[in-house]
Amino acid sequence: MKYRWSIFPAQPALASFLARELGISQLLAQCLLNRGLSEPGPIQFFLEPRLKNLADPFLLPGMATAVDRLFAARARSDPIILFGDYDVDGVTSTALLYELLGSLGWKVECYLPHRLDEGYGLTQAGVENCLARHACALLVAVDCGSTAVSSVDWLRERQVDVIVLDHHQISTPAPAAVALVNPQVADPTGPGSCFRELCSVGLAFKLAHALVKRGRQLGLPEFAGTDVREYLDLVALGTIADLVPLVGENRILVAAGLERLRVTKRPGLVALKKAASINGRVGGYEVGFQLAPRLNAAGRLETAEEALSLLLAPNLSSAEPTALRLDARNRERQKIEKRIVEEVLTVVRNRLERERERDWVIVEGNPDWHIGVVGIVASRVLQEYHRPTLVLGGDGGEWRGSGRSIDGFDLAAALRQCADLLVRHGGHAMAAGVSIHPDKVDAFRARLNELARRTLRPEQLQPALQIDATATLSDLTLDHVRELSRLEQTGMGNPSVRLALCGVSHGRPLQRVGVDRKHAKLWITDGRTTREAVMWGVGDGALPVGRFDLVVEPRLNEYNDTISVQLKVVDWAPA
């Protein structure tokens, strides 16, 4: 078993009640209970995400002040700079606001920092280079700025006001911005708590909504014809790419955004879909594994300006060459990433063989490792060893790196307890970034491991697999699996449905499939019903024999205009 299996406790009485009240199957009702939904009203809201259920954007902390300052800049024709970030969330946020503000009368320019030269966020080098290129009276920090105390002070000394539009954790003290539009400020029990899971492109959409709402209240004619729904393709793209929980407002925005993304007329996204060979359905997989990596590739290796120019491209003739260049950069990024992953895994394997009991957190660095891909590499290492992981790269006297964590270990909080060893740090509980001098890496590793040993239990170093229910193969009919698909879009905070099938066997010999025969196709039977199943990426690993138990994710598989049930095997064990 790769995972620790844990089956949610069955709640047959409550599941039966919900099934009757809502006209759904008891299996779907149990899955909803497992996701914390136990009342008909919230369940209806969840199963039928509608834009009309979005909350008033002015409930966001700092929103009214930000809108006032932006309208003051518009009235005076003050130049505004959008200072973005180089990941998909930052680029889509910047593109959305640039289009909206420019179309409604603001004088606006964009600036994206260079990952290698300026680092993450509203750094001193970044703001100095930004002001050297663009004179402005107002700077909007998009997807960054919540910890940039000194940079905001530096800008204020030069008579530049700052609005921070960001979802990352906030420093203490907070930066002295004119407005800090960050859902982390909201009272967890207040009306603004519904925004807690938004990423920055979601916040950009809320700001766009607030600006249009205020413009209409003021009777400004150009605002009457503005439809913010036109930006939902960007919102879905940035939200899925940033791995925020797909619940609440995010679920609504992604549901509507994916519909718009499927039929988008935005030249840059049409060209990007073509470069990624996406012709039909656009769902979470297509966004997360095909579109987003190509947009991210530019910012990972150099600057994200090419990704931004693609999203803002006025026509296909200018968009298609840019999309092809991003596609080529993504292939280059994949090669670099593959090489570094192999090098890191070799180092980690050797270290853990010597120090397995001591190393609960993996921290590895090398000046030859490209800092643009260390975050992806950290994710790959975490998948292999299921331990909080930080990978560092760069050259000279300062290394930069990215970390990924596991449930139970707040990485951002741990970094705060290592602040005396770090040059800079910031991020979330599950993902964060650092800058550090190379001679401090060993002490940093030791401190993090000390914190992890105090925080984690040994069993948490094996990933948990939460299973919705035990089922039989006859339960997994086309109608039942189609009904379970109402839980989509699945992702962070709303996992795919996982079911345990006990005591099954092979109905016919399995087949290894794929170019390198890394995958396997199975025909699973319980003696009465047979279903097709697939195991992805098993390579040369062990495959089930005899009678066995499976954890599967049921899927609808469409092939040659025929829809059938297919089971994705997540894990298996002898019966």
What are the pLDDT digits (tens) for 476-493?
999 999 999 999 999 988
pLDDT at 356 over 70: no
Q: How far apart are CA 61 and CA 192, in angstroms?
A: 7
pLDDT tens digits for range 510-551: 999 988 889 999 999 999 999 999 999 888 888 999 999 999
Computed over every residue of the chain, the mean pLDDT equals 94
Helix or strand run (H / E) with residue 568: strand 562-574
Of 425-434, 483-492, 493-502, minimum mean pLDDT range: 425-434
Of 318, 377, 373, 319, nearest to 343 by C-alpha is 377
pLDDT band (50, 70, 90) for residue 428: confident
Please state, in angstroms and as integers, the Cα–Cα distance from residue 346 to each residue in 115, 340, 357, 366, following that order: 27, 10, 18, 13
Sorted by where each starts, the structural domains of the chain and their CATH numbers stand as 4-8+465-574 (2.40.50.460), 57-229 (3.90.1640.30), 356-461 (3.10.310.30)
Q: What span, in angstroms and rounded, lies between the C-alpha atoms of 180 and 178? A: 7
pLDDT in tens, 72-81: 999 999 999 9
pLDDT at position 357 is 58
Tell me which long-range contacts 473-476 makes (C-beta under 8 A, separation of at least 24): 473/501, 473/504, 473/524, 473/525, 473/526, 473/528, 473/529, 473/530, 473/531, 474/526, 474/528, 474/529, 475/27, 475/499, 476/531, 476/554, 476/565, 476/567
Alpha-carbon Rg for the chain, nearest whole angstrom, is 25
Question: Using an 8 Å Cβ cutoff, are 5 and 24 in contact?
Answer: no
- DSSP letter assigned to residue 390: E
State how far the alpha carbon of 192 is from the alpha carbons of 44, 55, 63, 165, 416, in Å: 21, 9, 11, 15, 26
Distances (CA, A) of 225 to 32, 77, 229, 273: 39, 22, 12, 29
The sign one gets for the Cα dihedral 154, 173, 91, 340 is: positive
- State the sign of the Cα–Cα–Cα–Cα dihedral 40, 41, 42, 43: positive
Query: What pLDDT, in 10s, does the model give residues 51-62?
Result: 999 999 999 999
Whole-structure pTM value? 0.91
Out of 48-52, 358-362, 416-420, 558-562, least confident range:
558-562
Pairing state between β 138-142 and 107-111: unpaired
Task: Give the Cα separation of 242 and 84 in Å (integer).
Answer: 15
What are the contacts of 509-512 at 24+ separation with CB within 8 A? 510/543
What distance in Å separates the CA atoms of residue 121 and residue 89, rounded to the nearest whole number? 13
Residue 540 has a CB neighbour count (10 Å cut-off) of 8
Q: 3-state class of 30 per DSSP?
A: helix
